[in-house]
Chain A
Amino acid sequence: DIQMTQSPSTLSASVGDRVTITCRASQSINGWLAWYQQKPGKAPNLLIYKASSLESGVPSRFSGSGSGTEFTLTISSLQPDDFVTYFCQQYNSSPYTFGQGTKLEIK
């Protein structure tokens, strides 16, 4: 199985800050990486697919980059609604696996 390691597990920041979350795969995933946002008690919501493609309707302050085994999700200017949890996920090969999540907290 491909292991996905996400860091940090918790990130403290302020409204307006620029933040970056990192996801490392245990082997190359050929860019097949997605990022999701999950609000408490809700289903995850797709933000980014194929490492850097923005899902329709997602604000442009979210961006993804990376290749090989290292990927990042950047939020350019945090809004109050962004202080929730984020997951990365590889879909290069089955079983499809997720990072353990990053909880974004207000500083």
Chain B
Amino acid sequence: EVQLVQSGAEVKKPGESLKISCEISGNSLRKYWIAWLRQMPGKGLEWVGLIYPGDSDTRYSPSFQGQVSFSFDKSISTAYLQWRSLEASDTAMYFCARYDTAMAFDRWGQGTLVTVSS
């Protein structure tokens, strides 16, 4: 059974950098993408983008293009979401999820809460 386990909550100041992780275990990722999604406090879900573990091909939502970046370390089956310079508006829960082209987001991590405050 596949599991996605995310890194713990982070508290950062505006302008700081951050990298959060999502470790995938239990199953082959050969035909799946890994997605990142954002949920701001009390709000709905937004798709940030996708990364394909096989070759690190990435797709970004236009709303997030240039604001974040993805990477994947095959040796430890871990996906990363990174910011170079955080803003207060980045405060949110971030989820990773397995994306299947037929089944959408079928497995989810538990979420990482990112708080950006001076």
Contact = CB atoms under 8 A, between A and B. Distances in A.
Contact of A101 (B44, B97, B101, B103): B44
Contact of A87 (B44, B61, B102): B44
B95 interface: yes
A89 B39 CA distance: 14
Contacts of A101: 44
A100 B61 CA distance: 18
Contacts, number: 57
Nearest to B62: A95
A84 B58 CA distance: 33
Contacts of A98: 44-47
B58 to A, nearest CB: 12
| Majority-rule SS of A interface residues | loop
Nearest to B61: A95
Given A43-B95, A49-B103, A95-B61, A100 B108 contact: no
Interface in B57-115: 59, 61-63, 95, 97, 101-106, 108-111
B106 A49 contact: yes
B102 A49 contact: yes
Given A98-B45, A101-B44, A44 B105 contact: yes
B69 to A, nearest CB: 17
Interface residues of B, number: 20
Contacts of B95: 43-44
A87 B105 CA distance: 12
Name which of A50, A89, A100 has the most chain B CB atoms within 10 A of its CB. A89
B104 A46 contact: yes
28 contacts: A1-B62, A32-B104, A34-B103, A34-B105, A36-B105, A42-B111, A43-B95, A43-B97, A43-B108, A43-B110, A44-B45, A45-B108, A46-B103, A46-B104, A49-B102, A49-B103, A49-B104, A50-B102, A50-B103, A55-B103, A87-B44, A87-B45, A89-B45, A89-B105, A95-B47, A95-B63, A98-B44, A99-B44
Given A1-B62, A89-B105, 16 more contacts: A32-B104, A43-B97, A44-B45, A44-B95, A46-B103, A53-B103, A55-B106, A87-B44, A89-B104, A91-B104, A94-B59, A95-B63, A96-B47, A98-B44, A98-B47, A99-B44
